Amino acid sequence: MPARPKVVRMRVNMTVMNPEQDAGQTQTAPPPVPLEEYQARRTHVLEALEGAAAVVFAGTEPHDNSLLARWKTNRLFWYLTGLDFESGAVVLFDPSAEDPERRITLLLAPRDPEAERWEGPREFLDSALKSKTGFSSLGRVTSLPARLTEAARRTKRLACLHPFSPYTAPISPDLEVFRKVCEHVPGVSIEDRTQLLPQMRAIKSAAELALINYAVHITKEALGSAIEHISPGKSEKALAGILVETFRHYEAEPAFMPIVASGPNSTILHYVRLERTLGEGDLVVIDCGAMYHGYAADVTRTLPVGGRFSLEQQHVYEVVLEANQIAIDAVRPGITVGEIQARALEVIRRAGYEDFFFHGIGHQLGIEVHDVMPDGPLAPGMVLTIEPGIYLEDRGIGVRIEDDVLVTDKGAQVLTAQIPKTIEDIEAAIAQASS
């Protein structure tokens, strides 16, 4: 899906896959991220804060939330806890607490018998919940003002972990709370630690990579199912439905609303209206990804309706494919996304299409489709998309090719390598599906 300091390493198993093994071939569903990994993440944050107190908020479910789009917790909170649907919850980091058991605390919303009649019963703060969540200290959010004030009095330092917001938007939730604390406790400083969690999230563990790979596998199967139905007269909406149905067959969900853009719609980057019927000779851009146990894939392929690219379509496609491969070849530790973008753009510029490549070369991928992007160059264990495109509106030709790429110690491993990408492989796949 097109995108608009030193890397922190956690002391958990961060082993990446062997670049020699086949990417995207995990067909046995992997388990979710283990509880111990969430605990290790929280411990790492506590140590990295170096004595400063901090909070991470789950967010609050809106009262008018639609049942068709279930609310989820803030992804920073989820990364640290694995808990969704916990409206109002908070993780409190209090490194100066005398009791080591209370230095990391999960604070949950109070029980509400009336609300529980609608939403189901909530659990007691007991040893069973401690075992289930992996927290040794539990409490209710009603205690946060007193506990955070006391932490600020002791340490005199509060650290912002939530990303700062533009000045036109409401300020970030932890900064908003910290400002109020500073009005009540003199001498407290507020520190910028907003890069800590993005740096951690960007480096994927073995468990996370297994989940991303399985999401890629599901996406490959979904694209294969869609290819079987690409023909003149088929609707964009029907193809999108096939994608979603395949995701759910594998106990996954769409990571985002699938883009199925045919003919002139292929030149619209985030086309989601799904109103058109495919015509003979069209190109159809399919940009989709499965979300499995909280981890996303994001893949784009451009396919010819009728089974074969025209000469003009082939020309544009080959330019985009070359840019895609040049960019993938550039991926390695120490390079920046801007440098990769420049290499892809040079290919497109030489072909005379510089003005028709409107977006970034890619983005980080993981818990979110457009995952957090830490400052600095790439490092081993990061997963990003590579997705150049050319969009010729006057000719109704849009081409985008997107792969998911793991940064390794030696370079790059293409996780989506098993999904047909060359003209020959795409035409062969469509021919085989229609035979």
What is the rounded average pLDDT for all residues in the chain?
93
The answer to the question of residue 108 being in a domain is yes
The answer to the question of residue 313 being in a domain is yes
Give the model's pLDDT for residue 62.
Answer: 85
Residue that is last in its domain, among 150, 176, 200: 200
Strand partners, 399: 390
Encode burial over 151-190: b for 16+ CB neighbours within 10 A, e otherwise: bbebbbbbbbbbeeeeeeeebbbbbebbeebeeebeebeb
Q: How far is CA 247 from CA 60, 372, 384, in A?
A: 28, 24, 21
146 and 181 co-located in one domain? yes
149 and 253 co-located in one domain? no
Kindly indicate the confidence band of residue 321, based on its pLDDT and cuts at 50, 70 and 90.
very high
225 and 195 co-located in one domain? no
Residue that is last in its domain, among 200, 233, 255: 200
Kindly indicate the confidence band of residue 69, based on its pLDDT and cuts at 50, 70 and 90.
low
The answer to the question of residue 291 being in a domain is yes
- Is 401 strand, coil or helix? coil
76 and 209 co-located in one domain? no
Structural domain for 244, as ranges: 205-434
Residue 135 backbone dihedrals phi, psi, to 5 degrees:
-100, 135
192 and 71 co-located in one domain? yes
172 and 226 co-located in one domain? no
| Nearest residue to 150 via CA among 191, 194, 87, 102 | 102
Residue-wise pLDDT tens digits, 254-311: 999 999 999 999 999 999 999 999 999 999 999 999 999 999 999 999 999 999 999 9
46 and 180 co-located in one domain? yes
158: part of which helix (H) or strand (E)?
strand 157-160
Give the model's pLDDT for residue 68.
Answer: 56
Residue scoring higher pLDDT (435 or 124)? 124
283: part of which helix (H) or strand (E)?
strand 283-288
| Nearest residue to 89 via CA among 63, 126, 55 | 55
Residue-wise pLDDT tens digits, 85-139: 899 999 999 999 999 999 999 999 999 998 888 888 989 999 999 999 999 999 9
| Contacts of 178 by beta carbon, 8 Å cutoff, 6+ apart | 158, 160, 188, 190
351 and 423 co-located in one domain? yes
| Nearest residue to 94 via CA among 32, 45, 35 | 45
Residue-wise pLDDT tens digits, 138-174: 999 999 999 999 999 999 999 999 999 999 999 999 9
Kindly indicate the confidence band of residue 317, based on its pLDDT and cuts at 50, 70 and 90.
very high
Residue scoring higher pLDDT (19 or 305)? 305
281: part of which helix (H) or strand (E)?
none
Give the model's pLDDT for residue 388.
Answer: 98
The answer to the question of residue 7 being in a domain is no
Give the model's pLDDT for residue 70.
Answer: 77
| CATH number, residue 66 | 3.40.350.10
Kindly indicate the confidence band of residue 391, based on its pLDDT and cuts at 50, 70 and 90.
very high
Angle at 188 between CA 183 and CA 190, to 5 degrees: 100
Residue-wise pLDDT tens digits, 339-385: 999 999 999 999 999 999 999 999 999 999 999 999 999 999 999 99
- Is 95 strand, coil or helix? coil
Give the model's pLDDT for residue 187.
Answer: 98
pLDDT at 3 over 80: no
176 and 218 co-located in one domain? no
Residue-wise pLDDT tens digits, 246-255: 999 999 999 9
| Nearest residue to 234 via CA among 289, 305, 301, 288 | 305
| Nearest residue to 42 via CA among 76, 70, 1 | 76
pLDDT at 23 over 90: no
pTM of the shown model: 0.93
pLDDT at 12 over 60: no
Domains: count for the chain = 2
The answer to the question of residue 28 being in a domain is no
The CA distance from 140 to 181, in Å, is 19
Give the model's pLDDT for residue 4.
Answer: 57
| Nearest residue to 295 via CA among 253, 258, 260 | 253
pLDDT at 390 over 80: yes
The CA distance from 278 to 194, in Å, is 46
Tell me what the mean pLDDT of segment 307-332 comes to: 98
Give the model's pLDDT for residue 435.
Answer: 81
The answer to the question of residue 370 being in a domain is yes
pLDDT at 32 over 90: yes
The CA distance from 410 to 231, in Å, is 42
- Is 286 strand, coil or helix? strand
The answer to the question of residue 378 being in a domain is yes
Q: What percent of the chain has pLDDT over 90?
A: 88
Range of weakest confidence among 25-34, 209-218, 289-298, 308-317 = 25-34
The answer to the question of residue 301 being in a domain is yes
85 and 167 co-located in one domain? yes
360 and 393 co-located in one domain? yes
230 and 301 co-located in one domain? yes
| CATH number, residue 336 | 3.90.230.10
Would you say the C-alpha torsion 228, 215, 288, 249 has a positive or negative sign?
positive
Give the model's pLDDT for residue 63.
Answer: 74
